[in-house]
Amino acid sequence: MFKEQITYINVVNTTSETSNELFTDSCARIFALCTKLIELNAGGIGIHAKLSIYNRLPNTCLSSNLFVLSITVTSFDDCLCLLDGRLNKLVSFSVKIYFIDDTPSMVDNTVNNHI
C-alpha cells in the first residue's frame, strides 16, 4: 500500500562505510517499490556512496513518474545512463559526478540543419 502513496524520499546515509553497490541496489529498490515517486534526493549531506549503473541492466533506476532527482554518481557514464530515457519525465536533475574521464559512451546530440 505504501508504494502507491510515497511521492518524495530524502535519503540520508549516516555511515561512510556504505558501498556503491549497496547504495545502487537501494536506489534501484526505491525506484521499483515506490511507483508514484516524483522526487528523490539521494545526493545530499551524509551521502558518501555513489550510484553506479553504467554496467547494469537498462531497467535499473527506471521511473515513468520521477520529476526531480538529486544524486551523486560514480562516473559521467552513470550520469549519461540516467539521461538515456529511463527517467522520461525528469524536469530537474542535480548531479554530483565523482569521476570524469575519457568516456566510452558516445552521445550525438547535434542537429544537422544543412539545407
| Domain assignments of the chain as residue spans, ordered by start | 2-99
Average pLDDT over the chain, rounded to an integer: 82
* Residue 59: other Cβ atoms inside 10 A: 10
Q: Beta-strand (E) ranges in 18-101?
A: 39-42, 68-75, 92-99
Residues 66 and 55: their CA atoms lie apart, in Å, by: 22
> In the chain, what percentage of residues exceed pLDDT 90?
40
Residues 81 and 75: their CA atoms lie apart, in Å, by: 10
Residues 7 and 22: their CA atoms lie apart, in Å, by: 22
Q: Span 30-35, mean pLDDT?
A: 91
pTM metric for this prediction: 0.79
> In the chain, what percentage of residues exceed pLDDT 70?
83
Q: What is the pLDDT of residues 41-63, one digit of tens each?
A: 987 665 678 889 988 888 888 89
Grid coordinates representing 74?
560514480
